Chain A
Amino acid sequence: MASSTGTPATRRLGVVVIAMLATLAMCGLWFSSEDVVQGSTVRIMYVHVPSIWTAYIAFGVTALCSAVYLTGKNRSLAWDRVAGASGEIGVLFVAVSLVTGSMWGRLTWGTYWVWDARLTSTAFLFITYIGYLAVRRLGGTHRQRARRSSVLALLAVLEIPLVHFSVVVWRSLHQEATVANPNAKVELDGLMLFSLFLGLFAFTLLFVWLVLHRQRTLMLEDAFADRGLDAAIVARHKEAEASS
């Protein structure tokens, strides 16, 4: 059995990701200029926007893999593991974007939280996928876990747009001043734009890297559980022989 979850390819990917993140840190914190209005706080954007972007990709991957698992002919558990790994990493990135977002909010709006539609539905996204991860941990066989969580992941695809839509209408009908999209306020010059896109790219690759490792860890966990099963079968045969 493999002693690590890495392969030469993932190691190369890892080096690239780390190099890109280092470049992003340099560009974001050092080379890029301050915003005219927001000053240095604009630099949070280089983490905040890429992390929510990555979270959306992650949940998209979770839904896609769940659909493939449920509709595929051979029902390979690999799809379920990728869905699970992607869900975990998605939750992580939503958390990052919520934390960075509320820090940014405190600095620019003077408050940690506003009942902005996007913020509110992001919070729901977070809770929904925490529930998804809880269901994955319910136990039972691998197949039970896979079926239950795939169905739930697809239900989330239905739920999220509904929640988002209702929250949007909720805010707009109240006709309170919608908080201006902070990104829109920012006049992005060339280097800032470059940093932002570098961030998106680097975080996407980081996501791929993490998912590759995490799904392999999950595969090893499943394999370990199965190996336990083999040993237990042998033990039961012995138990039968002993009592005969």
Chain B
Amino acid sequence: MSAVRRRRAIALAVARKDLSIEWNSRVLVNQVAPFASIIMVMFAFALDNDGILQRVAPGLVWLATMFSMLVVIQRTFAVESADGALDALRVAGIDPGSIFVGKSMALAVQLFALEALLVAMAVVLYGVEMSVLGLCEAIVTMVVATIGLACVGTLYGGLAAGARGRETLLPLLLLPVVAPVLIGATRATEAAFGSAGTAVSEGWPWIGLLAVFAVLFGAVGTVAFGPLIDE
């Protein structure tokens, strides 16, 4: 088996394993999704104005994504450290780059599901309306932004997990890094939602920014994950 195929097999095994864990435990469905939903409701309490809510809905969707993401990342590394499984993977000499790719893929799938829920909530709660083209753009935005978020999240989540119980560090490290995603994804989603009269076409350059972010951190994460989780 060639090295590349071997790595791909490991990455897929790790991703499948993380998704099986979610399938068995339903933490995302039973805990994180309700948490993300309550954030959306709380935004409505805080802003208390239908017009404003409709205007800022894209930003709120992505803010809620960022906060929920922190919880999901903590969870994805908590299952690794509960019985020393990440340790076991390291002891077994499993290629850390492949672990990174696998965990990022699983995280991306979970984040995408969350974002879909949040966008649906924005439509229902905040009265957002979308054209078909806008919906397509929203989906592309979500896919590209999610890949970037998942890569960065796995990278910094691994660093915080390697430090044993320093979860409080994760938000401090992660939120500044994902600022470009918050900016880019919010603007692209504004275009998709047509908030404040933005045209759908205005969103595509932002999706380009998100793509650059995803590619960069995907590549760097594959290399940097090993040194970060090692002792």
The interface of chain A, by Cβ under 8 A from chain B, is: 70, 124, 127-128, 130-131, 134-135, 138-140, 144, 147-148, 151-152, 154-155, 158-159, 162-163, 165-167, 169-170, 173
Contact = CB atoms under 8 A, between A and B. Distances in A.
Interface in B192-220: 205, 209, 212-213, 216-217, 220
B228 A165 contact: no
Given A130-B172, A138-B166, A158 B216 contact: yes
A152 B155 CA distance: 10
B59 to A, nearest CB: 12
Given A124-B179, A131-B176, A151-B224, 20 more contacts: A70-B227, A124-B176, A127-B172, A127-B176, A128-B176, A130-B172, A135-B169, A138-B166, A139-B163, A140-B231, A144-B231, A148-B163, A148-B227, A155-B220, A158-B216, A158-B217, A162-B212, A162-B216, A166-B183, A170-B187
Nearest to B217: A158
A137 to B, nearest CB: 10
A173 B187 contact: yes
B42 interface: no
B99 to A, nearest CB: 16
A147 B172 contact: no
Nearest to A166: B180
Given A131-B169, A135-B169, A159 B183 contact: no
Interface string B152-193: 000100010011001001001101110110011001000000
A178 B137 CA distance: 29
19 contacts: A127-B172, A128-B177, A131-B176, A134-B169, A134-B173, A135-B159, A135-B163, A138-B169, A139-B163, A144-B231, A147-B230, A148-B162, A155-B224, A162-B213, A163-B176, A163-B179, A166-B183, A166-B184, A169-B205
Interface residues of B, number: 28
Contacts of A138: 163, 166, 169
Interface string B67-109: 0000000000000000000000000000000000000000000
Contact of A162 (B169, B175, B180, B228): B180
A167 B183 CA distance: 8
Interface of B: 155, 159, 162-163, 166, 169, 172-173, 175-177, 179-180, 183-184, 187, 205, 209, 212-213, 216-217, 220, 224, 227-228, 230-231
A134 B176 CA distance: 14
Contacts of B175: 127
Contacts of B162: 148
Given A138-B163, A148-B162, A152-B159, A159 B187 contact: no
Contact of B227 (A127, A151, A158): A151
A148 B228 contact: yes
A169 B227 contact: no
Given A134-B169, A167-B183, A173-B187, A159 B177 contact: yes
A170 B224 CA distance: 29
A162 B211 CA distance: 12
A163 B216 CA distance: 13
A145 to B, nearest CB: 10
B177 to A, nearest CB: 5
Nearest 7 A/B pairs, CB to CB: A166-B180, A131-B173, A138-B163, A166-B183, A131-B172, A127-B176, A162-B180
